[in-house]
Structure 1
């Protein structure tokens, strides 16, 4: 279990609560829209907007938080995250916003308190990079589609 310390933004609606896992086996905790004016945003088809969550996170070193779309919103309304998954680094302490995009055919209303995305806490491994010859593999330089049809 990893502890994520949370701080509320000024003006945030604390009654919405902290991110929550919807089931015992859920990998992602739901994030909610938290508008200071308790209002809403309408996303026209093709539009995108930064939706505030009212939260700031302190993520421990060696971890990240990935922000991912909610499958029900994606299937039913075409609502997704254009930078999916979004990464929140352990040294970031600013407001947590979610970039939502409407890829559907109709306006979509993001209401105050709506579950808009999910966050997954994941370990991070950093690499060291060096210049040198690459070892050969069976695949070699074969790119997109080179391993055959599904």
Structure 2
């Protein structure tokens, strides 16, 4: 098991739960909106609007790992709430506040309240690649075909 260290930001509400896996088989740990005291009423996103939602956390991710921030499927299906840069990557050398960019792709305004579960985070290993410039690439059956070249869509 990998250990990710957490600390609260100065303005965080420390009575809210830390990220947690809601079931034994869950891959993602839920992140909660943690607004500063002067903004605890939350935020309402109009259709098409986006906002950076604070979690009240900072992370120390081990070298060789990343944290991916992903949408919650229920919010996406029921309300059109998604993360426009999904999956968002938190690098192992970042130590600043963890915020979640939330987008309302739905038809109705959506309110994010203090303490709401807004996203999930996945801890994943990172492979680093060497990039080699070559004169030409090997041939494959697919070749340069893309953007629907293997079938519909």
TM-score range, shorter chain: over 0.9
Alpha-carbon distance in 1 for matches of 2:25, 2:41:
32
CA distance in 2, matches of 1:111, 1:148: 43
Q: What residue ranges of structure 1 are gaps of 5+ in the alignment?
A: none
Which of 140, 143, 146 is residue 146 of structure 2 equivalent to? Answer: 143
Matching of residue 14 in structure 1 with residue 17 in structure 2 = no
Give the 5 Å matches for 1:31-110: 31-37=31-37, 38-110=40-112
Instruction: Tell me whether 1:23 sits opposite 2:26 in the alignment.
Output: no
Return 5+ residue gaps in structure 2 as ranges: none
* TM-score for both structures, normalised by structure 2: 0.96
- The alignment's C-alpha RMSD in Å is 0.9
State the distance in 1 between where 2:21 and 2:94 align: 23
TM-score, normalised via structure 1 length: 0.98
Q: Which residue of 2 aligns with 1:129?
A: 131
